[in-house]
Protein backbone atom coordinates (compact mmCIF):
# COMPACT_ATOMS: atom_id res chain seq x y z
CA UNK A 1 0.00 0.00 0.00
CA UNK A 2 1.87 3.09 -1.18
CA UNK A 3 -1.06 5.42 -1.80
CA UNK A 4 -2.95 7.00 1.09
CA UNK A 5 -6.63 6.02 1.40
CA UNK A 6 -9.32 7.94 3.17
CA UNK A 7 -12.10 6.08 4.96
CA UNK A 8 -15.26 7.79 6.22
CA UNK A 9 -16.60 6.28 9.43
CA UNK A 10 -20.20 6.62 10.57
CA UNK A 11 -19.22 7.51 14.13
CA UNK A 12 -22.79 7.42 15.46
CA UNK A 13 -23.93 4.06 14.06
CA UNK A 14 -24.37 0.78 15.89
CA UNK A 15 -25.24 0.01 19.48
CA UNK A 16 -22.17 1.77 20.87
CA UNK A 17 -21.71 4.74 18.50
CA UNK A 18 -18.57 6.83 19.12
CA UNK A 19 -17.61 4.67 22.11
CA UNK A 20 -16.73 1.86 19.71
CA UNK A 21 -15.92 3.78 16.52
CA UNK A 22 -13.47 6.33 17.95
CA UNK A 23 -11.11 3.91 19.73
CA UNK A 24 -11.30 1.61 16.67
CA UNK A 25 -10.27 4.55 14.47
CA UNK A 26 -7.34 5.40 16.73
CA UNK A 27 -6.09 1.82 16.68
CA UNK A 28 -6.48 1.50 12.92
CA UNK A 29 -4.62 4.78 12.36
CA UNK A 30 -1.86 3.60 14.60
CA UNK A 31 -1.44 0.39 12.62
CA UNK A 32 -1.69 1.98 9.18
CA UNK A 33 0.25 5.10 10.14
CA UNK A 34 0.77 7.45 7.18
CA UNK A 35 -1.14 5.23 4.78
CA UNK A 36 -4.68 5.85 5.90
CA UNK A 37 -6.74 8.90 6.73
CA UNK A 38 -9.95 8.55 8.66
CA UNK A 39 -12.95 10.86 8.81
CA UNK A 40 -15.20 10.53 11.85
CA UNK A 41 -18.69 11.57 10.76
CA UNK A 42 -21.19 12.53 13.44
CA UNK A 43 -22.05 15.01 16.16
CA UNK A 44 -18.76 16.87 16.66
CA UNK A 45 -19.07 17.42 20.39
CA UNK A 46 -19.78 13.75 21.09
CA UNK A 47 -17.04 12.53 18.78
CA UNK A 48 -14.53 15.05 20.15
CA UNK A 49 -15.33 14.09 23.74
CA UNK A 50 -14.77 10.43 22.93
CA UNK A 51 -11.58 11.30 21.10
CA UNK A 52 -10.22 13.16 24.11
CA UNK A 53 -11.22 10.34 26.41
CA UNK A 54 -8.88 8.11 24.42
CA UNK A 55 -6.08 10.67 24.32
CA UNK A 56 -6.54 11.31 20.62
CA UNK A 57 -6.87 14.56 18.76
CA UNK A 58 -7.92 15.89 15.39
CA UNK A 59 -5.20 16.05 12.79
CA UNK A 60 -4.84 15.69 9.04
CA UNK A 61 -5.09 11.92 9.34
CA UNK A 62 -8.09 12.03 11.66
CA UNK A 63 -10.75 14.61 10.88
CA UNK A 64 -14.19 15.14 12.30
CA UNK A 65 -16.95 15.82 9.81
CA UNK A 66 -20.16 17.19 11.23
CA UNK A 67 -23.52 15.46 10.77
CA UNK A 68 -26.45 16.49 12.91
CA UNK A 69 -28.71 13.44 12.64
CA UNK A 70 -28.50 9.77 13.59
CA UNK A 71 -30.32 6.92 11.83
CA UNK A 72 -32.20 4.85 14.36
CA UNK A 73 -31.52 1.08 14.39
CA UNK A 74 -35.23 0.34 13.98
CA UNK A 75 -35.98 3.07 11.44
CA UNK A 76 -37.56 2.11 8.12
CA UNK A 77 -35.02 2.43 5.28
CA UNK A 78 -37.44 4.55 3.24
CA UNK A 79 -37.91 6.96 6.16
CA UNK A 80 -34.19 7.20 6.80
CA UNK A 81 -33.61 7.88 3.11
CA UNK A 82 -36.13 10.71 3.05
CA UNK A 83 -35.76 12.17 6.51
CA UNK A 84 -32.13 11.67 7.54
CA UNK A 85 -30.22 13.59 4.89
CA UNK A 86 -27.80 15.01 7.45
CA UNK A 87 -27.30 11.76 9.32
CA UNK A 88 -23.80 10.47 10.04
CA UNK A 89 -24.57 7.46 7.83
CA UNK A 90 -25.77 9.49 4.88
CA UNK A 91 -22.96 12.02 5.11
CA UNK A 92 -20.37 9.21 5.26
CA UNK A 93 -21.84 7.72 2.08
CA UNK A 94 -21.94 11.19 0.48
CA UNK A 95 -18.21 11.61 1.16
CA UNK A 96 -17.56 8.50 -0.95
CA UNK A 97 -19.77 9.82 -3.71
CA UNK A 98 -17.96 13.17 -3.66
CA UNK A 99 -14.59 11.46 -3.89
CA UNK A 100 -13.51 12.83 -0.50
CA UNK A 101 -13.38 9.30 0.91
CA UNK A 102 -12.41 6.03 -0.80
CA UNK A 103 -14.71 3.93 1.36
CA UNK A 104 -17.19 4.26 4.19
CA UNK A 105 -17.92 2.01 7.15
CA UNK A 106 -21.08 1.99 9.25
CA UNK A 107 -22.41 -0.16 12.08
CA UNK A 108 -25.87 1.36 11.68
CA UNK A 109 -29.20 0.09 10.39
CA UNK A 110 -28.46 -2.32 7.52
CA UNK A 111 -31.57 -1.58 5.49
CA UNK A 112 -30.98 2.17 5.70
CA UNK A 113 -27.32 1.78 4.73
CA UNK A 114 -28.22 -0.35 1.69
CA UNK A 115 -30.92 2.15 0.66
CA UNK A 116 -28.66 5.18 1.06
CA UNK A 117 -25.69 3.54 -0.65
CA UNK A 118 -27.87 2.44 -3.53
CA UNK A 119 -29.48 5.86 -3.86
CA UNK A 120 -26.33 7.96 -3.48
CA UNK A 121 -23.64 5.81 -5.08
CA UNK A 122 -25.82 3.85 -7.54
CA UNK A 123 -25.21 0.24 -8.50
CA UNK A 124 -22.96 -1.03 -11.27
CA UNK A 125 -24.48 -1.94 -14.65
CA UNK A 126 -26.29 -5.26 -14.32
CA UNK A 127 -26.74 -5.00 -10.55
CA UNK A 128 -30.08 -3.93 -9.14
CA UNK A 129 -29.40 -4.14 -5.41
CA UNK A 130 -26.02 -4.56 -3.70
CA UNK A 131 -25.31 -8.01 -2.32
CA UNK A 132 -24.07 -8.35 1.23
CA UNK A 133 -20.97 -10.52 1.47
CA UNK A 134 -19.19 -11.56 4.61
CA UNK A 135 -16.26 -13.71 5.61
CA UNK A 136 -17.12 -16.82 7.59
CA UNK A 137 -14.60 -18.97 9.47
CA UNK A 138 -14.39 -22.63 8.52
CA UNK A 139 -11.98 -25.52 8.87
CA UNK A 140 -8.66 -24.45 7.41
CA UNK A 141 -9.53 -20.78 6.94
CA UNK A 142 -12.60 -18.89 5.90
CA UNK A 143 -14.96 -18.42 2.99
CA UNK A 144 -16.97 -15.55 1.53
CA UNK A 145 -20.73 -15.93 1.48
CA UNK A 146 -23.27 -13.83 -0.42
CA UNK A 147 -26.00 -12.65 -0.52
CA UNK A 148 -26.88 -12.27 3.14
CA UNK A 149 -29.23 -9.40 2.71
CA UNK A 150 -32.14 -8.05 0.82
CA UNK A 151 -31.94 -9.95 -2.47
CA UNK A 152 -34.71 -12.50 -1.88
CA UNK A 153 -36.18 -14.63 -4.67
CA UNK A 154 -33.07 -14.32 -6.82
CA UNK A 155 -33.17 -15.26 -10.47
CA UNK A 156 -30.39 -17.51 -11.78
CA UNK A 157 -28.70 -14.54 -13.47
CA UNK A 158 -28.52 -12.71 -10.15
CA UNK A 159 -26.96 -15.70 -8.41
CA UNK A 160 -24.43 -15.86 -11.23
CA UNK A 161 -23.58 -12.18 -10.73
CA UNK A 162 -23.12 -12.78 -7.01
CA UNK A 163 -20.60 -15.46 -7.95
CA UNK A 164 -18.72 -13.01 -10.16
CA UNK A 165 -18.64 -10.36 -7.43
CA UNK A 166 -17.70 -12.82 -4.68
CA UNK A 167 -14.93 -14.17 -6.85
CA UNK A 168 -13.49 -10.67 -7.35
CA UNK A 169 -13.59 -9.98 -3.61
CA UNK A 170 -12.01 -13.33 -2.72
CA UNK A 171 -9.24 -12.70 -5.23
CA UNK A 172 -8.69 -9.18 -3.85
CA UNK A 173 -8.47 -10.79 -0.40
CA UNK A 174 -5.61 -12.99 -1.58
CA UNK A 175 -7.14 -16.18 -2.97
CA UNK A 176 -6.05 -17.05 -6.50
CA UNK A 177 -8.74 -18.65 -8.62
CA UNK A 178 -11.34 -18.81 -5.84
CA UNK A 179 -13.46 -21.96 -5.75
CA UNK A 180 -17.11 -21.00 -6.22
CA UNK A 181 -19.83 -23.16 -4.67
CA UNK A 182 -23.56 -22.81 -5.10
CA UNK A 183 -25.52 -23.42 -1.90
CA UNK A 184 -28.02 -26.21 -2.37
CA UNK A 185 -29.87 -28.80 -0.34
CA UNK A 186 -27.82 -31.64 -1.75
CA UNK A 187 -24.83 -32.17 -3.95
CA UNK A 188 -26.68 -34.19 -6.59
CA UNK A 189 -27.53 -32.45 -9.82
CA UNK A 190 -31.24 -33.18 -9.60
CA UNK A 191 -31.68 -31.31 -6.32
CA UNK A 192 -32.63 -27.71 -5.74
CA UNK A 193 -35.08 -25.21 -7.07
CA UNK A 194 -35.29 -23.92 -10.63
CA UNK A 195 -33.17 -20.83 -10.08
CA UNK A 196 -30.32 -22.76 -8.47
CA UNK A 197 -30.28 -25.41 -11.20
CA UNK A 198 -30.19 -22.74 -13.89
CA UNK A 199 -27.49 -20.78 -12.04
CA UNK A 200 -25.43 -23.98 -11.95
CA UNK A 201 -25.64 -24.18 -15.73
CA UNK A 202 -24.54 -20.56 -16.09
CA UNK A 203 -21.62 -21.12 -13.73
CA UNK A 204 -20.58 -24.33 -15.45
CA UNK A 205 -20.46 -22.54 -18.79
CA UNK A 206 -18.45 -19.61 -17.35
CA UNK A 207 -14.73 -19.10 -16.82
CA UNK A 208 -15.19 -18.98 -13.04
CA UNK A 209 -13.69 -21.78 -10.97
CA UNK A 210 -17.09 -23.33 -10.25
CA UNK A 211 -16.90 -26.45 -8.10
CA UNK A 212 -20.60 -27.36 -7.97
CA UNK A 213 -23.23 -27.47 -5.28
CA UNK A 214 -22.23 -27.16 -1.65
CA UNK A 215 -24.33 -27.95 1.41
CA UNK A 216 -24.42 -26.02 4.67
CA UNK A 217 -22.17 -28.50 6.43
CA UNK A 218 -19.60 -28.87 3.67
CA UNK A 219 -19.29 -25.06 3.43
CA UNK A 220 -18.04 -25.10 7.03
CA UNK A 221 -15.60 -27.84 6.16
CA UNK A 222 -13.93 -25.39 3.80
CA UNK A 223 -14.72 -26.86 0.38
CA UNK A 224 -15.28 -23.46 -1.30
CA UNK A 225 -13.84 -19.94 -1.14
CA UNK A 226 -17.10 -18.31 -2.20
CA UNK A 227 -20.55 -19.65 -1.38
CA UNK A 228 -23.42 -18.20 -3.39
CA UNK A 229 -27.07 -18.19 -2.36
CA UNK A 230 -30.06 -15.89 -2.32
CA UNK A 231 -30.32 -13.37 0.49
CA UNK A 232 -33.07 -15.19 2.32
CA UNK A 233 -31.20 -18.49 2.46
CA UNK A 234 -27.89 -16.81 3.29
CA UNK A 235 -29.33 -14.73 6.07
CA UNK A 236 -31.09 -17.68 7.69
CA UNK A 237 -27.99 -19.87 7.35
CA UNK A 238 -25.71 -17.24 8.87
CA UNK A 239 -28.01 -16.43 11.76
CA UNK A 240 -28.68 -20.11 12.47
CA UNK A 241 -24.94 -20.61 12.63
CA UNK A 242 -24.64 -17.75 15.09
CA UNK A 243 -27.46 -19.28 17.11
CA UNK A 244 -25.76 -22.66 17.33
CA UNK A 245 -22.44 -21.11 18.30
CA UNK A 246 -24.24 -19.16 21.02
CA UNK A 247 -25.95 -22.28 22.40
CA UNK A 248 -22.72 -24.27 22.44
CA UNK A 249 -20.75 -21.52 24.18
CA UNK A 250 -23.55 -21.15 26.73
CA UNK A 251 -23.51 -24.92 27.36
CA UNK A 252 -19.74 -24.83 27.66
CA UNK A 253 -19.98 -22.11 30.31
CA UNK A 254 -22.70 -23.99 32.17
CA UNK A 255 -20.72 -27.22 32.06
CA UNK A 256 -17.72 -25.55 33.70
CA UNK A 257 -19.88 -23.90 36.36
CA UNK A 258 -21.97 -26.87 37.45
CA UNK A 259 -20.16 -27.65 40.68
CA UNK A 260 -16.96 -27.00 42.58
CA UNK A 261 -15.11 -29.74 40.73
CA UNK A 262 -16.10 -28.52 37.29
CA UNK A 263 -15.24 -24.94 38.30
CA UNK A 264 -11.80 -26.14 39.30
CA UNK A 265 -11.43 -27.97 35.98
CA UNK A 266 -12.53 -24.78 34.23
CA UNK A 267 -9.90 -22.80 36.08
CA UNK A 268 -7.20 -25.18 34.96
CA UNK A 269 -8.57 -25.26 31.43
CA UNK A 270 -8.86 -21.46 31.32
CA UNK A 271 -5.91 -20.78 29.00
CA UNK A 272 -7.20 -23.43 26.59
CA UNK A 273 -10.73 -22.03 26.70
CA UNK A 274 -9.38 -18.55 26.11
CA UNK A 275 -7.42 -19.68 23.07
CA UNK A 276 -10.56 -21.38 21.78
CA UNK A 277 -12.57 -18.22 22.33
CA UNK A 278 -9.98 -16.16 20.48
CA UNK A 279 -10.09 -18.59 17.58
CA UNK A 280 -13.88 -18.47 17.40
CA UNK A 281 -14.15 -14.75 18.16
CA UNK A 282 -16.71 -13.42 15.66
CA UNK A 283 -15.19 -9.95 16.02
CA UNK A 284 -12.25 -10.91 13.83
CA UNK A 285 -14.65 -11.58 10.95
CA UNK A 286 -16.60 -8.35 11.32
CA UNK A 287 -17.19 -6.18 8.27
CA UNK A 288 -19.57 -7.20 5.49
CA UNK A 289 -19.10 -5.78 2.01
CA UNK A 290 -21.96 -4.25 0.04
CA UNK A 291 -20.96 -5.48 -3.40
CA UNK A 292 -22.23 -4.15 -6.70
CA UNK A 293 -22.11 -0.45 -5.77
CA UNK A 294 -20.05 2.26 -7.47
CA UNK A 295 -18.05 2.73 -4.28
CA UNK A 296 -16.85 0.83 -1.23
CA UNK A 297 -19.38 0.50 1.59
CA UNK A 298 -18.74 -1.78 4.55
CA UNK A 299 -21.37 -2.79 7.08
CA UNK A 300 -20.11 -3.53 10.58
CA UNK A 301 -22.19 -5.64 12.94
CA UNK A 302 -24.49 -3.38 14.96
CA UNK A 303 -23.18 -4.73 18.25
CA UNK A 304 -19.53 -4.30 17.27
CA UNK A 305 -17.11 -3.09 19.93
CA UNK A 306 -13.86 -1.27 19.10
CA UNK A 307 -11.99 -4.49 18.26
CA UNK A 308 -14.72 -5.61 15.87
CA UNK A 309 -15.18 -2.18 14.29
CA UNK A 310 -11.44 -1.96 13.67
CA UNK A 311 -11.74 -5.14 11.58
CA UNK A 312 -14.52 -3.55 9.54
CA UNK A 313 -12.26 -0.52 8.90
CA UNK A 314 -9.62 -2.95 7.62
CA UNK A 315 -12.15 -4.43 5.21
CA UNK A 316 -12.86 -0.93 3.92
CA UNK A 317 -9.16 -0.18 3.51
CA UNK A 318 -8.58 -3.43 1.63
CA UNK A 319 -11.45 -2.82 -0.77
CA UNK A 320 -10.40 0.77 -1.37
CA UNK A 321 -6.80 -0.29 -1.94
CA UNK A 322 -7.75 -3.02 -4.39
CA UNK A 323 -10.43 -0.85 -6.02
CA UNK A 324 -12.93 -3.69 -5.68
CA UNK A 325 -15.89 -1.80 -7.28
CA UNK A 326 -13.83 -1.09 -10.41
CA UNK A 327 -12.61 -4.70 -10.58
CA UNK A 328 -16.19 -5.95 -10.27
CA UNK A 329 -17.31 -3.54 -12.98
CA UNK A 330 -14.55 -4.75 -15.30
CA UNK A 331 -15.28 -8.40 -14.60
CA UNK A 332 -19.02 -7.96 -15.19
CA UNK A 333 -18.29 -6.23 -18.51
CA UNK A 334 -15.90 -9.03 -19.49
CA UNK A 335 -18.48 -11.71 -18.80
CA UNK A 336 -21.70 -10.07 -19.89
CA UNK A 337 -22.57 -8.22 -23.06
CA UNK A 338 -23.68 -4.59 -22.86
CA UNK A 339 -27.19 -5.80 -23.55
CA UNK A 340 -27.19 -8.36 -20.72
CA UNK A 341 -26.00 -5.72 -18.27
CA UNK A 342 -28.83 -3.42 -19.20
CA UNK A 343 -31.56 -5.91 -18.31
Q: Which one, 86 or 188, has the nearer CB to its own copies?
A: 188
Name which of 205 and 247 has its Cβ closer to its own copies: 247
Q: CB 226 → its own copies: shortest distance, Å?
A: 16
Q: Which H or E run includes 24? A: helix 18-31
What's the min distance (Å) between Cβ of 280 and its own copies? 6
CB of 293 to its own copies, least distance (A): 20
Residue among 1 and 244 whose Cβ is closer to its own copies: 244
- Where does 229-297 have alpha helices with state H? 231-255, 260-268, 270-280
Are 174 and 141 within 8 A, CB to CB? no
Q: How far apart are CA 217 and CA 265, in angstroms?
A: 31
For 297, list phi and psi in degrees, rounded to 5: -130, 125
Least CB distance to its own copies at residue 127 (A):
19
Cβ–Cβ under 8 Å, residues 123 and 292: yes
Cβ of residue 304: shortest distance to its own copies, in angstroms?
16
Ramachandran region, residue 233 (left: φ > 0; alpha: ψ -120 to 50; beta: rest): alpha
Nearer to its own copies, 277 or 326 (CB): 277
For residue 285, give the DSSP letter.
G
In angstroms, give the least distance from the CB of 245 to its own copies. 6
Q: Is 36 exposed, middle or buried (0-12, 13-18, 19+ CB in 10 A)?
A: buried
**What does the binding site for its own copies look like in residue numbers (CB under 8 A)?**
74, 76, 137-139, 149, 152-153, 183, 185-186, 188, 190, 192-194, 196, 215-221, 229, 231-233, 235-248, 250-252, 255-256, 258, 261-262, 264-266, 268-269, 271-273, 275-276, 279-280
Choose between 11 and 200: whose C-beta lies nearer to its own copies. 200
Residue 125 or 222 with smaller CB distance to its own copies: 222
Amino acid sequence: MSQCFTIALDAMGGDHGPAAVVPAALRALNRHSGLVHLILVGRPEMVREELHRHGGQECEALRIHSASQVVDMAELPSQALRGKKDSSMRVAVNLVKEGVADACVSAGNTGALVAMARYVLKTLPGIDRPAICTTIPCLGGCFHMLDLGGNVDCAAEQLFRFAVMGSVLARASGTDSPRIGLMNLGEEEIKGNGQVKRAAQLLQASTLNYIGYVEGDSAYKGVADVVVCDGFVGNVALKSSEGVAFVISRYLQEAFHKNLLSKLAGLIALPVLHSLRRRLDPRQYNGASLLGLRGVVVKSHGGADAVAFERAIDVGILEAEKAVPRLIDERLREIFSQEQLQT
